[in-house]
């Protein structure tokens, strides 16, 4: 059974002197941090680093990501938590946000981010309207086409391996044969258990002329193991326009790689 994780709870610049919300130094908590982006790449306020194991470390054992053994797969098939979205039933109400912000602009951006996270159930696209930095919560996975030194695969492939586990389970449960084409974008909520929200293009038949349809996969990753949570078509259904190259270029323009 997958470890428990939380969704969508974030702090936005309400701390001071480089401290995280628990008061500890963000610079000394971890030497294995991964820089993330909320879409506002050029803000004077800069970008923070999330204290989490980076993707190089997470993917060190590629076998744990590409699949699970038959015994574990059998257990996961009967897992009652499959296809249970922690965002179901959640609604955004501005009155619920009692955070004190440092200025009105940050407050506006933070509220927009929180509403977007809830309305998209974590599968949002990066936006320049988001806060320029986060202290916690779900953020965009950067550098999808960067090659990971420890495995020789790209971040995009790392994500595709995890999404494939979700899709395999979805196909088995639904009696379908949906095929993953390529990962479009992804978000993640880091921690002891890291939750990934992966949006990918898929074909719903074996025909190479079948249209590409947007799908979502949600997965937990912890201690070298992948735990599929759900897989589904984007709601409402959304076609992936253009060729693979054009689509990847469009996504790259939305989510610039950080350097």
Domain boundaries, the chain: 34-254
Which of 16-30, 37-51, 55-69 is predicted most confidently?
55-69
Give the contacts of 168 (CB within 8 A, at least 6 positions apart).
none
- How many residues are there in the chain? 259
3-state secondary structure of 14: coil
Give the per-residue pLDDT at 99: 86
Q: Is the pLDDT of residue 19 over 80?
A: no
Position with higher pLDDT, 33 vs 212: 212
The token duo for 122 is 């974590």
Which of 76-80, 232-236, 240-244 is predicted most confidently?
232-236
Q: Which of 7, 72, 6, 54 is nearest to 226 (CA)?
A: 72
What distance in Å separates the CA atoms of residue 115 and residue 113, rounded to the nearest whole number?
Answer: 5
Residue 232 backbone phi and psi in degrees, to 5: -165, 160
Torsion sign across C-alpha atoms 150, 152, 156, 158: negative
Q: Region 137-145: what's the mean pLDDT?
A: 96
CATH code for the structural domain at 34-254: 3.10.450.10
Q: pTM above the 0.95 mark?
A: no
Q: Region 117-122: what's the mean pLDDT?
A: 98
In the DSSP assignment, the letter for residue 188 is E
Give the per-residue pLDDT at 240: 94
Other CB atoms within 10 Å distance of the CB of residue 160:
23
Q: Is the pLDDT of residue 94 over 60?
A: yes
Give the per-residue pLDDT at 63: 40
Mean pLDDT of the chain: 75
Q: Which of 166, 254, 154, 153 is nearest to 202 (CA)?
A: 166
């Amino acid at each position: 059974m997958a470890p428990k994780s939380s969704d969508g709870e974030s702090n936005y610049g309400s701390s001071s002197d480089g401290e995280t919300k628990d008061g500890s130094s963000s610079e000394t908590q971890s030497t294995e941090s991964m820089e993330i982006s909320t879409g506002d790449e050029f803000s004077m306020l800069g970008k923070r680093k999330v204290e989490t194991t980076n993707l190089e470390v997470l993917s060190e054992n590629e076998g744990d990501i590409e699949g699970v053994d038959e015994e574990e797969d059998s257990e996961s098939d009967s897992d009652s938590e499959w296809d249970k979205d922690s965002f179901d039933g959640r609604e955004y109400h501005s009155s619920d946000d009692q955070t004190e912000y440092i200025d009105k602009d940050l407050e506006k951006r933070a509220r927009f981010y929180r509403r977007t996270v809830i309305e998209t159930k974590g599968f949002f696209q990066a936006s320049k309207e988001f806060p320029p930095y986060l202290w916690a919560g779900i953020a965009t996975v950067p550098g999808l086409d960067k090659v990971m030194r420890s495995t020789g695969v790209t971040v995009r492939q790392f994500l595709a391996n995890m999404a494939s586990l979700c899709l395999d389970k979805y196909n088995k449960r639904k009696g379908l044969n949906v095929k993953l084409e390529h990962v479009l974008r992804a978000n993640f909520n880091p921690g002891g258990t890291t939750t990934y929200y992966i949006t990918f293009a898929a074909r719903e038949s074996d025909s190479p002329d079948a249209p590409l349809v947007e799908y979502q996969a949600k997965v937990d990753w912890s201690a070298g193991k992948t735990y599929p949570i759900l897989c589904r078509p984007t709601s409402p259904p959304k076609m992936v326009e253009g060729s693979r190259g054009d689509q990847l270029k469009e996504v790259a323009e939305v989510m610039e790689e950080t350097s």
